[in-house]
Amino acid sequence: MKKIFLFLAFSLLIGRSSFSQRYLQPVFSNFTLKDGIEYGRAINLRNQEEVLKLDIFEPQGDTARLRPLIIWAHGGSFVAGDRKQMEVVQFARAFAKMGYVTASIDYRKGIDQAAVLMGKGPEELLKAALRGMQDGRAAVRFFKRTVAEQGNPYRIDTTRIMFGGSSAGAFIALHSAYLNREEEIRQHSRFSSELYNQVGGTLEGNSGNAGYSSRFKGVINLCGALGLAKWIEAGEPPVISMHADGDQIVPYKAGAAGQPALGVAVPVEGSFLIHEQAQRVGVKSFLHTWQSRDHAPYALDTNVANFTITYLTPRIYEILFDQPASVDAHKVLSSVSIYPNPVHNEIKVSFPALVTGKWQISNINGAVLQKGEFKDLQELQIQRNFALIPGLYILQLHTEEGIVEKKLIFE
């Protein structure tokens, strides 16, 4: 009897340890893909009914009864791209391995080129964005409908849904969260009632799954913007933003998004102003700024993509579970992320939880050339000093969880 009790106690401890790491690190070696699931239908730019599809990624071998959901929308300026775009699929795959159900969606794209030639490019871009938002909301409703009407085949916890996107996809996620009343859209300088009626005359749209709420718990904004940041109001979903301050496609602060040289652009307010407004009204907000980078740097740079995942992971957890991520020492030490490397001027060190400690940079002979301390940080920023000439160095982090060493190359 004693042996049975000890076995059960050990099993419970193992279970708790495994659960504590789920959603904070890859706990599944692979994912399963359900490809081309229809989530709605809507009239597109060519006045034809378009079938809207999404791909669903689930952790392979998972037995959990309910799982949080992250929906991803791709970029492409509302004229290009699809749900297969690696720009967002890499994130869908990564978070599925952490235990989430994730989805990558298609949405209606296209801009009337004849209208652009007639000087109506801004209005056409705004219409495309509204159509995308309507489709994004239909995707949220789709999952809620599968729970209510189909026995929850994807085992979704509908109280824990994040909507994320890159570039145009981030526009969709942001507007799906914060553009909730017709009087808000009327505040935008390029809005007209005629334009609104041309896309169905409703913010919710007619893309499918009527009768279900399109609300969700949090937003992931990768290089996106809102028509007006003031649309964020108290009590609305938290947001995680990542944006480059040198973005030439979507402004980091305020400006024109799109292709101004082609006459296809609208005034928007980017992640910096979104973060400011969220803080002003008490909405939880996180902002990471890529210094001196251009649009969507994670799309082509694996190091940036890995850093993006590391930055998002604990913050998604905090939003969905209403508490800061709690991770063990091994997790902290094994998940320290450094960006960029090679280094030009500034090093960013990202931790999966709040960490306190000391740091030092040494040359390969062991001489300490720069050092400092930090307290309760998830991102440590180190400015290069004059002693760090081009070459190979060692960054050593002394934390409460242990010691981490990383190789650095200074350009």
Residue 362 class from Cβ within 10 Å (0-12 exposed, 13-18 middle, 19+ buried)? middle
What per-residue confidence (pLDDT) applies to 10? 34
Tens digits of residue pLDDT in 309-332: 988 998 999 999 998 876 555 566
- Type of residue numbered 20: S
By the 8 A CB rule, do 175 and 240 touch? no
Spans of the chain below 70 pLDDT: 1-20, 261, 326-334, 353, 400-401
- Type of residue numbered 214: S
Give CA–CA dist 307/171, Å, rounded. Answer: 22
Q: For the chain, which domains are there? A: 19-321 (3.40.50.1820), 329-410 (2.60.40.3080)
Give CA–CA dist 161/282, Å, rounded. Answer: 20
φ, ψ (nearest 5 deg) of residue 117: -65, -20
What per-residue confidence (pLDDT) applies to 331? 61
Give the HSE-up count for residue 5: Cα atoms under 13 Å, Cβ half-sphere.
2
What per-residue confidence (pLDDT) applies to 326? 66
Residue with tokens 């979704």: 156
Residues 6+ apart with CB under 8 A from 398: 357, 358, 359, 360
Torsion angle of the four alpha carbons 252, 258, 264, 267, in this order, in degrees rounded to the nearest 10: -20
Question: How distant is the alpha carbon of residue 365 from its chain centre?
Answer: 41
Query: pTM for this structure?
Result: 0.80
Torsion-angle region of residue 155: left (phi > 0), alpha (psi -120 to 50) or beta? left
Count how many residues are written for the chain: 411
Task: Identify the sign of the CA torsion 205, 72, 300, 307.
Answer: positive
Tens digits of residue pLDDT in 100-145: 999 999 999 998 888 888 887 888 888 999 999 999 999 999 999 9
Residue 207 class from Cβ within 10 Å (0-12 exposed, 13-18 middle, 19+ buried)? buried
Give CA–CA dist 374/15, Å, rounded. Answer: 33
Q: Is the peptide bond before 342 cis (omega within 30 degrees of 0)?
A: yes
Helix (H, G, I), strand (E, B) or coil at 5: helix
By the 8 A CB rule, do 393 and 382 touch? no
Per-residue DSSP letter, 261: G
Q: Which tokens sit at 231?
A: 């649309």
Q: Which of 190, 347, 180 is nearest to 258 (CA)?
A: 190
Give CA–CA dist 320/71, Å, rounded. Answer: 13
Q: Which tokens sit at 396?
A: 């050593």
By the 8 A CB rule, do 232 and 226 touch? yes
